[in-house]
Amino acid sequence: MKTIDEMLSLDLLTHAQHVEISAWIDRSDSPEDILRMPANLWQAIERASLAMGVNDDLLRPPAMDAGSLLLS
């Protein structure tokens, strides 16, 4: 949900899209249920993801020094 909220704050989703997507996710019992989201909502998420570079982040190889990061 954090990513969806960020998409809204960056004006990449409308308030109505955010409400619909959030409600769909909240009602879903499984990832398969989420994948049944209507096409217009998926398209909004895809456009926002492209604008945010989400796919680029997911495809980037991990940094060689990532193991030394401390998580707090």
Neighbours of 34 (CB within 10 A): 14
Domain count, the chain: 1
In a domain, 17, yes or no: no
In a domain, 45, yes or no: yes
In a domain, 15, yes or no: no
Per-residue pLDDT tens digits for 34-54: 999 999 999 999 999 999 988
In a domain, 43, yes or no: yes
In a domain, 1, yes or no: yes
Per-residue pLDDT tens digits for 4-22: 999 999 999 999 999 999 9
Note down the domain range covering 40.
1-9+32-51
Q: What is the pTM of this model?
A: 0.74
In a domain, 36, yes or no: yes
**Taken in order 33, 37, 38, 43, is the CA torsion positive or negative?**
negative
